[in-house]
A and B are shown apart, each in its own frame.
Chain A
Amino acid sequence: MAEINREDVAHLARLAHIDMSAEELDRMTGELAVIVDSIKRVSEVAGDDIPTTSHPIPLSNVYREDVIGETLTNEEALSGAPDNADGRFKVPAILDGE
């Protein structure tokens, strides 16, 4: 049985700052439930001898040496910004944790 209900989807949409209509919430609840159920089947086939894993490829310790490389210019950095001022990205004032 699906572990995703409409409340969950509404909550996630709020966290993700996505405005969803009532119809979209209904549809997404069904679709997400199918996805969650499908993924759940993986843990059914994985036995106790399979360790929890975060990555599919058995790779670890990939590092970069601490050497300065190329950076963007201020102009390049701001080139995709909707608005800028004083060499900085200009964004609406958002009241949230400082």
Chain B
Amino acid sequence: MAMATEDILTFEEALEKYDPVLGFEVHVELNTQTKMFSSAPNAFGDTPNTNVTPVDLGLPGVLPVVNRVAVESSIKIGLALGCKIAEKCYFARKNYFYPDTPKNFQTSQFEDPIAYDGSIDIELADGTVFTVEIERAHMEEDAGKLTHMGGSTGRIQGAEFSLVDYNRAGVPLVEIVTKPIVGAGARAPELAKAYVAAIREIVKNLGVSDAKMERGNVRCDANVSLKPKGQEKFGTRTETKNVNSLRAVEHAVRYEIQRHAAVLDSGIAIIQETRHWHEDTRSTTSGRPKSDADDYRYFPEPDLVPIVTTEEWIERLRSELPEPPAERRKRLQQDWGYSDAEFRDVVNAGVMSSIEDTIAAGVKPAVARKWWMGEISRRAKVADVEPSELGVTPELIVELNSLIESGKINDKLSREVLDGVLAGEGTPTEVVEARGLAVVSDDGPLLEAIDAALAAQPDVADKIRGGKVQAVGAIVGGVMKATRGQADAGRVRELILQRLGVEG
């Protein structure tokens, strides 16, 4: 069967007629040492089926025991999302047959999640703030990893058999579920991306997850529905599964809005179903409709006793929470005196922490920003890495900066020094010596170069003598060229004016 390309409206057309409603289920893998219910290592990339115990394989007669740290991490996530923490909650069995769980059920939570009723403020790139309400955050376990073999594309379609690795089975997960998000309008795709980015930032900041999306530590299912403008009742939603990069979240939400609009416009009802996201075509295809197989027959897990939280326990965990990322940003911007636009650029460039460290090492905020947003970001872009990954230390910037301030090198030379340091030629001071980059500060050679430059452009020299001081730039340029940039331009200017007997 050929896969039909579905009609879509343009994003603008879709937004003219419909209001999008969003909802997200984000799964966060915790970075505990061991699994949720067994003492097998919680590790990525090991030999298949070695990080497993009889509990993880669902062998007969095993007894799961809850990981205390996983529960505490879950409570911390709940607190960071402004949630209430359940006084008493249970685990439940979610029953289904699929080889990714050898037990034929996933241990999860159903009626009473560990955390519920929270909200977080999401700031978009231009500073607009949306409040996203959190319905619940519950604890569960990850499933094993299936690899479909024999199909031409590695996907389930056409596969002849599947291979299962249970190393991931039982890894602690927290699933964060939002309430329906209405009113985002045309900013829905942007908000989707910002929401997932915020969750990732929060769990990373808490230290409870490695939060690497490319490793599946943070995974997003995005729900989208449309309602005609002015209508209160929500439309039928689709759930796009496993949208696992920030960019994909934005694109998937945008695509589903456009697709829903085209379907609704043609008078057809949206089917409640899962959708699969395809990065290559930037589109979704139909997954599986909601069916009676979704009857999971949840019931309380008889092998695990209830979790009862105390005020004391929760308050101890609350006291361990780090400063929330949004508050930290506010504080740093104030301390550094950056404008809103400057600070946003810093955040978007991913150099906020680097600048913080550099300032702590004794560099002025404006200077630290100049380095990280200028030369370092530029080199990172060329090398296609994050600025923080270039190997630039705060100490390096301190040294470069003091070389400039003492007049040993100028701005231009400092770039070459940075290149030398990054190329492994030693400390800035060593690079200056090895490459002979020190600024020429002895006036003798400078005066020679100045005389030569004046002689080369006598008409300019006359203009300056005549009082046109701004023409001095041409002579300074000549001198800088002759000294290969190793002169202090300010000193050169001073000397030229002195030479010509003109007041600067």
Report A's interface with B, CB cutoff 8 A: 11, 14-15, 17, 54-55, 57, 59-74, 77-78, 80, 85-98
Interface range, B side: 35 or more
Quick one: given A66-B34, A88-B147, A98-B156, are A54 and B68 in contact (CB under 8 Å)?
no
**Given A97-B241, A97-B288, 4 other A-B contacts at CB below 8 A?**
A59-B305, A93-B150, A93-B151, A94-B98
- Give 9 closest A-B pairs by Cβ, nearest first: A69-B39, A54-B300, A63-B68, A66-B69, A88-B163, A93-B159, A64-B65, A89-B164, A77-B49
| Interchain CB contact under 8 A, A89 and B163 | yes
Measured between beta carbons, the chain B residues less than 8 angstroms from A85 are 163
Q: Nearest residue in B to A92 (C-beta to C-beta)?
A: B161
Measured between beta carbons, the chain B residues less than 8 angstroms from A94 are 98-99, 162
Check B295 for interface membership: any CB of A closer than 8 A: yes
Measured between beta carbons, the chain B residues less than 8 angstroms from A73 are 50
Q: Which B135-168 residues sit within 8 Å CB-CB of chain A? A: 146-151, 156-157, 159-166
Interface mask (B1-45 → A, CB under 8 Å = 1, otherwise 0): 000000000000000000000000000000011100011110000
| Interchain CB contact under 8 A, A98 and B242 | yes
Q: How far is the CA of A77 from the CA of B146 in the complex (A)?
A: 16
Check B95 for interface membership: any CB of A closer than 8 A: yes
Ordered by A's residue number, 12 sampled pairs between the chains whose C-beta atoms are within 8 Å are: A15-B292, A15-B295, A61-B308, A62-B66, A65-B69, A71-B50, A71-B52, A71-B53, A73-B50, A74-B50, A77-B49, A91-B162
Q: How far in angstroms is the closest Cβ of chain A from B485?
A: 58
Quick one: given A64-B39, A68-B39, are A87 and B54 in contact (CB under 8 Å)?
no
Q: Nearest residue in A to B49 (C-beta to C-beta)?
A: A77
Measured between beta carbons, the chain B residues less than 8 angstroms from A66 are 32-34, 67-70
Interface mask (B285-316 → A, CB under 8 Å = 1, otherwise 0): 00110001101010010101111100000000
Q: How far in angstroms is the closest Cβ of chain A from B310?
A: 9
Q: How far is the CA of A96 from the CA of B159 in the complex (A)?
A: 12
Q: How far is the CA of A94 from the CA of B57 in the complex (A)?
A: 19
| Interchain CB contact under 8 A, A69 and B53 | yes
Quick one: given A68-B39, A74-B48, A94-B98, are A63 and B162 in contact (CB under 8 Å)?
no
Measured between beta carbons, the chain B residues less than 8 angstroms from A15 are 95, 292-293, 295, 297
Check B71 for interface membership: any CB of A closer than 8 A: yes
Q: How far in angstroms is the closest Cβ of chain B from A9?
A: 14
| Interchain CB contact under 8 A, A71 and B66 | no
Q: How far in angstroms is the closest Cβ of chain A from B398?
A: 39
Q: How far is the CA of A22 from the CA of B66 in the complex (A)?
A: 42
Q: How far in angstroms is the closest Cβ of chain B from A11?
A: 7
Measured between beta carbons, the chain A residues less than 8 angstroms from B67 are 63-64, 66
| Interchain CB contact under 8 A, A72 and B39 | no
Q: How far in angstroms is the closest Cβ of chain A from B52?
A: 5
Measured between beta carbons, the chain A residues less than 8 angstroms from B147 are 88
Measured between beta carbons, the chain A residues less than 8 angstroms from B50 are 71-74, 77
Measured between beta carbons, the chain B residues less than 8 angstroms from A96 are 98, 288, 293
Q: How far is the CA of A80 from the CA of B33 in the complex (A)?
A: 27
Quick one: given A61-B308, A63-B68, A77-B52, are A71 and B164 in contact (CB under 8 Å)?
no
Measured between beta carbons, the chain B residues less than 8 angstroms from A70 are 39, 53
| Interchain CB contact under 8 A, A54 and B39 | no
Q: How far is the CA of A60 from the CA of B288 in the complex (A)?
A: 39
Quick one: given A86-B48, A91-B164, are A97 and B98 in contact (CB under 8 Å)?
yes
Measured between beta carbons, the chain A residues less than 8 angstroms from B379 are none
Q: Nearest residue in B to A55 (C-beta to C-beta)?
A: B305
Check B255 for interface membership: any CB of A closer than 8 A: no
Interface mask (B409-438 → A, CB under 8 Å = 1, otherwise 0): 000000000000000000000000000000
Q: How far is the CA of A57 from the CA of B50 in the complex (A)?
A: 35
| Interchain CB contact under 8 A, A54 and B90 | yes
Q: Nearest residue in A to B160 (C-beta to C-beta)?
A: A93
Measured between beta carbons, the chain A residues less than 8 angstroms from B40 are 68-69, 71
Measured between beta carbons, the chain A residues less than 8 angstroms from B287 are 97-98
| Interchain CB contact under 8 A, B66 and A63 | yes
Measured between beta carbons, the chain A residues less than 8 angstroms from B54 are 72
Quick one: given A70-B53, A77-B57, A93-B161, are A55 and B65 in contact (CB under 8 Å)?
no
Q: How far in angstroms is the closest Cβ of chain A from B294?
A: 9
Q: How far in angstroms is the closest Cβ of chain A from B269?
A: 22
Measured between beta carbons, the chain A residues less than 8 angstroms from B52 are 71-72, 77
Q: How far is the CA of A97 from the CA of B275 in the complex (A)?
A: 10
Q: How far in angstroms is the closest Cβ of chain B from A50?
A: 16
Q: Nearest residue in A to B32 (C-beta to C-beta)?
A: A66
Measured between beta carbons, the chain B residues less than 8 angstroms from A89 are 49, 99, 163-166
| Interchain CB contact under 8 A, B306 and A55 | yes
Check B276 for interface membership: any CB of A closer than 8 A: yes
| Interchain CB contact under 8 A, A91 and B99 | yes
| Interchain CB contact under 8 A, A93 and B48 | no
Q: How far in angstroms is the closest Cβ of chain B from A39?
A: 13
Interface centre among A59, A60, A88 (most CB of B within 10 A): A88
Quick one: given A64-B68, A77-B49, A89-B164, are A54 and B306 in contact (CB under 8 Å)?
yes
| Interchain CB contact under 8 A, B47 and A74 | yes
Q: How far is the CA of A97 from the CA of B66 in the complex (A)?
A: 27
Q: Nearest residue in B to A89 (C-beta to C-beta)?
A: B164
Check B274 for interface membership: any CB of A closer than 8 A: yes
Interface mask (B382-410 → A, CB under 8 Å = 1, otherwise 0): 00000000000000000000000000000
